[in-house]
Amino acid sequence: MRILWLHQYFATSKGWGAVRTYEFARRFVKAGHEVDVVCCAGYDASLKGARHAPVVVDGVRVFVSGTAYRPHMGFVLRVGSFVCFMTYALFFVLVRGGRYDVMIASSGPLTLAVPALAGRWLRKLPFVFEVIDVWPDSAIAAKVLKNPVLKRLSFWLEALAYRFASAIVTCSTGMTQRVGKKIGVLETSYVNPTWQRVETSATPPVDLLNQAAGRLNDSKLFTLSNCCDVEQVAPDAERRSRTRERLGVKAGQTVVLYTGAMGRSNAVEDLVGAVKGTADDERIIWWFAGDGPEADKLKDLSSVAVCFFGSLPKEELIELYLAADVNVVTFMHEPLFCENSPNKFFDGIAAGLPAVFNRSTWLEPWLMEYDCGVICEGQEPGLKMAEAIRKWADSPDRRKQMGRNARRLAEEAFDRDQLAVKYLKIVEKVLTDGV
């Protein structure tokens, strides 16, 4: 197959963005297919300067737009960036789309539905619409999208994308439920109607994910969660010891790691509460790798127990994961964010780290089944996270056992190699069915 993949936020392991598209694409190439990616360099500086010819990374040809993008951008600049990249991708599809067999469009931003629809209508190119964020719902919940006209246009564009996509792939069972409601397909075995709490089920979590990866009520809707690179991110005692020594970690100290965005949707206030809640415990130190508009709230703590690394490429992040003891995952407390599929969680369990969440999550059945994490919701989740971290500092054997459980979960349920095979079958089915 000749596959065209549109993803504005594409990044390789040399970048600091999510590597979902890169990791799947290179596996598709390894399976004998051609994959071309159209992106910008906003999340991967190694792609800059490649505007006049494609960059080839692990067999994947990457066409890079000159579109500027940064998470720090205000609303107007972001919209401008989305429209600029949409125009570039649209032109690419109209001029070169005829040489491809199938297209994948990864959203957000939702504007990528425009070139996908153009390819479908004008080039007879079937497409998979990949929902990494449920736009515009997530932008509205984060209070980023407020204009009523833009809201209506966004919902209209979203509906067109779902209608004309040959397949829809989401990143969590919660997202599958939300999209399923929008397109009139509803399965109640994953998330309850309040969208606030993942329901436990008699179905084992691994089987539940396998069921979700297939057709939902015989529709075109699929769940393929974010996943783990179990070979690339594997516990390594020697690398762990070397990194901890280099960064001045003392024997017996517990390293708490947070990676990724530090913006409005990441509940930075809960992180602040957790850091303050452990500030008097010399056994506990915090590592932060990431950036965002609210990062200063953490930097202002000025604690000797806090270390900031800024935004790091995936290759360097792995060293921190392997050297840490606890992985922290936070999102704002809007119900929709229960559905998020955080890459940091999957990297953490691959590295053998127990996870602490500040709120309910669709991943809760797996956390409970494998005993590899805790959820600290309700009043003052930051202080509850601090309490959980203190308990792990008191009981290192218990923490290590939960870490081993986390690694087992990564291998049994979220191995990227296994999910890539399922993804490829979906793409092949789209090609077989045609437009």
Does residue 110 sit in the same domain as residue 135? yes
What does the pLDDT read at residue 253?
95
**211 in a domain, yes or no?**
no
Does residue 367 sit in the same domain as residue 419? no
Does residue 326 sit in the same domain as residue 262? yes
DSSP β-ladder status, 254-261 and 221-223: unpaired
User: Both tokens of residue 21?
Assistant: 């598209």
Q: How many residues does the chain have?
A: 435
Model pTM above 0.85: yes
Place of tokens 């709120």: 359
Mapped onto helix, strand or coil, the DSSP state of residue 303 is coil
User: Both tokens of residue 221?
Assistant: 């809707």
Task: Quote the domain boundaries for residue 82.
Answer: 2-171+415-433
6-to-89, 210, 352 alpha-carbon distances in Å: 7, 26, 32
**218 in a domain, yes or no?**
no
What does the pLDDT read at residue 204?
46
Q: How far is CA 346 from the centre of its chain?
A: 9
List, run by run, the mean pLDDT of 10-residue segments along the chain (435 residues): 96 89 96 96 84 88 90 80 94 95 93 96 96 84 82 91 95 90 64 32 46 53 93 94 95 95 91 94 94 88 83 92 97 88 95 96 95 92 96 96 97 95 94 80
**328 in a domain, yes or no?**
yes
Q: Measure the CA–CA gap between 279 and 274, rounded to whole angstroms.
A: 9
Does residue 271 sit in the same domain as residue 401? yes
What does the pLDDT read at residue 21?
96
Does residue 149 sit in the same domain as residue 259? no
What does the pLDDT read at residue 51?
67
What does the pLDDT read at residue 194?
28
Does residue 423 sit in the same domain as residue 359? no
What does the pLDDT read at residue 186?
60
Q: Measure the CA–CA gap between 226 and 231, rounded to whole angstroms.
A: 16
For residue 151, which amino acid is it? Answer: K
Beta bridge partners of 51: none
Q: Measure the CA–CA gap between 41 and 225, rounded to whole angstroms.
A: 24
How many angstroms separate the first and last alpha carbons of the chain? 15
Contact between 255 and 323 under an 8 Å Cβ cutoff? The reply is yes
**200 in a domain, yes or no?**
no
**189 in a domain, yes or no?**
no
How many helical (H) and strand (E) elements, i.e. helices and strands, does the chain have?
A: 16, 14
Indicate which CATH number applies to the domain containing 353.
3.40.50.2000
What does the pLDDT read at residue 77?
87
Does residue 164 sit in the same domain as residue 241? no
What does the pLDDT read at residue 270?
95
What does the pLDDT read at residue 137?
82
DSSP code for 13: T
Does residue 424 sit in the same domain as residue 333? no
What does the pLDDT read at residue 425?
95
What does residue 258 show for φ and ψ, rounded to 5 degrees? -125, 130
**154 in a domain, yes or no?**
yes
Prior bond of 108 cis (ω within 30°): yes
Does residue 313 sit in the same domain as residue 421? no
Does residue 397 sit in the same domain as residue 420? no
Residue 53's Cβ-count burial label (10 Å; 0-12, 13-18, 19+) is exposed
Does residue 39 sit in the same domain as residue 80? yes
Q: How many domains does the chain have?
A: 2
**369 in a domain, yes or no?**
yes
Kind and range of the H or E run holding 284: strand 284-291
Handedness of CA 122, 42, 231, 168 (dihedral sign): negative
**317 in a domain, yes or no?**
yes
Does residue 335 sit in the same domain as residue 396? yes
What does the pLDDT read at residue 392?
96
